[in-house]
């Protein structure tokens, strides 16, 4: 089978402190970090053992993972497995990128978020340039708070034309709702912004979640996606594969990219192709 796993271990801390995000305000103990590392090691071993399948992995941590060497090592290690298709991770790109030299860069994908309150634009752009030099496909984005609009436009001007810039629509917590002008301004930067700015009807709709895409936590508990709490099984159980089957969505709407991108009726797999995990469209829609 072809299986995509969204892995989210217990790590829930960040080296940034964005005021709208709770995870930058938490710090892990040594024991908690050791637990995260052990959980990740167990997960990597599980992927290594599934040689009969094609497995892709998207690390979506609550916080920043690439500042920790065990995530760097896991990506490098998994990238050399012939049965691993794609590997991607969400990151603020503050880490040292020397670890990429130990990996197969052609299998790596980076979903990088620019936080203008926590890093300098020139440093972030330099990190992106390094990824390009290393041959790592990546997208970059900005949280769509109105106060970040000028920075998003400046970032677009400094990025290579081949780099996709996405804007994550703020659906809750915005001081004022987007005006038509706001939407138009963000859409000029990201043609897919209107898609992200929508809570898509999903109840009863066909979704790859729970069949060929699953969300897995540090204990191995599998769910159809990050947004439906009901477990479907545990990946470390010997009979886990029997849990993988079509399941219509149980939520009224789906408003997050890593969820709705798998709704079949939206056909966004055709838009993103092999770049679906790192959020890179198959054709340069933004040009």
* Tens-place pLDDT, residues 234-268: 999 999 999 999 999 999 999 999 999 999 999 99
The pLDDT confidence band at residue 175, using thresholds 50, 70 and 90, is low
Q: Residue 195 pLDDT > 90, yes or no?
A: yes
The pLDDT confidence band at residue 171, using thresholds 50, 70 and 90, is confident
Q: pTM for the whole thing? A: 0.95
- Provide the mean pLDDT of the chain: 95
Q: Residue 211 pLDDT > 80, yes or no?
A: yes
What proportion of the chain, given as a percentage, has pLDDT over 70?
A: 97
Rounded Cα gap, residues 138 and 123, in angstroms: 16
Rounded Cα gap, residues 17 and 63, in angstroms: 10
Token code pair at residue 247: 């399941």
């Amino acid at each position: 089978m072809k299986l995509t796993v969204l892995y989210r271990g217990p790590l829930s801390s960040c080296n940034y402190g964005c005021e709208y995000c709770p995870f930058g305000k938490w710090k892990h103990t040594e024991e908690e970090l050791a637990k995260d590392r052990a959980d990740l090691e167990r997960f990597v071993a599980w992927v290594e053992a599934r040689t009969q399948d094609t497995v892709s992995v998207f690390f979506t941590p609550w916080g920043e993972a690439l500042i920790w060497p065990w995530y760097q090592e896991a990506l490098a290690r998994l990238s050399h497995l012939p049965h691993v298709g794609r590997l991607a991770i969400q990151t603020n790109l503050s880490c040292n990128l020397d670890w990429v030299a130990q990996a197969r860069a052609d299998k790596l994908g980076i979903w990088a978020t620019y936080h203008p309150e926590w890093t300098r634009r020139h440093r972030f752009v330099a990190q992106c340039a390094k990824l390009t030099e290393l041959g790592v496909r990546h997208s970059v984005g900005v949280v769509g708070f109105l106060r970040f609009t000028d920075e998003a436009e400046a970032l677009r001007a400094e990025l290579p034309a081949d780099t996709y810039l996405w804007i994550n629509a703020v659906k809750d917590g915005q001081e004022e709702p987007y005006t038509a002008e706001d939407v138009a301004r963000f859409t000029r930067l990201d043609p897919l912004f209107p898609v992200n700015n929508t809570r898509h009807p999903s109840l009863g709709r066909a979704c790859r979640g729970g069949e060929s895409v699953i969300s897995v936590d540090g204990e191995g508990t599998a769910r159809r996606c990050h947004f439906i709490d009901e477990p479907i099984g545990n990946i470390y159980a010997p009979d886990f594969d029997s849990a993988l089957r079509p399941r219509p969505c149980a939520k009224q709407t789906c408003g997050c990219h890593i969820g709705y991108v798998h709704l079949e009726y939206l056909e966004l797999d055709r838009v993103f192709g092999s770049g679906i995990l790192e959020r890179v469209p198959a054709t340069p829609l933004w040009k």
